Amino acid sequence: MVSSLTPANQEFVNNLNQINSRMNTAVLQISSGLSMQQVSDNPDEVSPLLQARAALASSQQISTNLGLVKTEVDAGEQALSTATTLFDQVQTLAAEGATGTQTAASRATLAQQVQSIEQQLVGLANTNIEGRYIFSGDTDQTPAYSYDPTQPDPVSAYLGSASTRVVQDANGTTFPLALTAQQIFDNPNDPTTSVFGAINGLVTALNNNDQTAIQTSVNGLSNVSSYLNEQLAFYGTTQDNVESATNFAQNQQTELQTQISSLQDADVTSSIMTLTQSQTAEQAALGAEAQIPRQTLFDFLG
């Protein structure tokens, strides 16, 4: 198609189109707050922007997961803190039962008190948070233990499974989340650290009014107590890890949001200035164009 415009008029139209394009771009940037509306706006920045957005989404998901994990870990720490306090009471009752002034009846009463504490410990081993038994390993829909006071050994065998769950840190590393009730209360690798084993031995000795056996139980309780406190320390360390991972993720998200902003956000002040300058240029161009003399056929016939 051949243009009927003179070269001067064509140049005027081209310049006016450029001014209008700058105005439209500035209006879009001011209204949306974005400098990149489509890929063609800045193709070199598209890949870094998409990578930053993906990294931000991943970090935000990790933060959400850490929030859920924190609830479980805090509950685990609280349960074990209570368990250590209860076991301290077992040690106190055991020391009382080992004294030579105790009678068979008084030791039987102490045995009942110790067994009551054992039942509370089983309850702690079966701690349930949001429908999950947090000490039952990967089989978290099943209580870790059942308790039957009519049996010589009232605590059942461990009913859960191993714990393989780990927590992902935003820095790419992972750390273990939980211990099983078996690891905590009934260590299969070292019977001398078994909480339930020690309590059952003490209860039997007290009920039998066997002072020698009671003293033997007393001597072994300190080792069990130390082991139980080590398991509590695991949850304290895990709490620290969760807090550190949460802080790292939050700082990472701030950095990524800053990066994304630098890639896609508009400089609104600059856009407003561009719009104002373009409007002024448009008005000046239209005003100048209006002053150009117009010749008609009658001018040539005059």
| 54, 174, 189, 222, 261 from 113: Cα distances, Å | 57, 42, 28, 19, 64
Bigger pLDDT: 121 vs 35: 121
Q: How far apart are CA 96 and CA 177, in angstroms?
A: 38
Task: Delineate the domains of the chain, giving CATH numbers in brackets.
Answer: 60-260 (1.20.1330.10)
At 82, the pLDDT band (50, 70, 90 cuts) reads very high
What is the 3-class SS of 56-82, one letter each residue? HHHHHHHHHHHHHHHHHHHHHHHHHHH
pLDDT in tens, 222-251: 999 999 999 999 999 999 999 999 999 999
Task: Specify the pTM.
Answer: 0.72
Per-residue pLDDT for 39 more than 60? no
173-200: average pLDDT: 94
**pLDDT reported for residue 16:** 58
pLDDT in tens, 103-116: 999 999 999 999 99
Bigger pLDDT: 83 vs 278: 83
Task: Give the sign of the dihedral formed by CA 107, CA 111, CA 112, CA 117.
Answer: positive
At 47, the pLDDT band (50, 70, 90 cuts) reads confident
Helix (H, G, I), strand (E, B) or coil at 301: helix
Q: How many DSSP H helices and E strands does the chain contain? A: 8, 4
pLDDT in tens, 142-161: 999 999 999 989 999 999 99
**pLDDT reported for residue 53:** 86
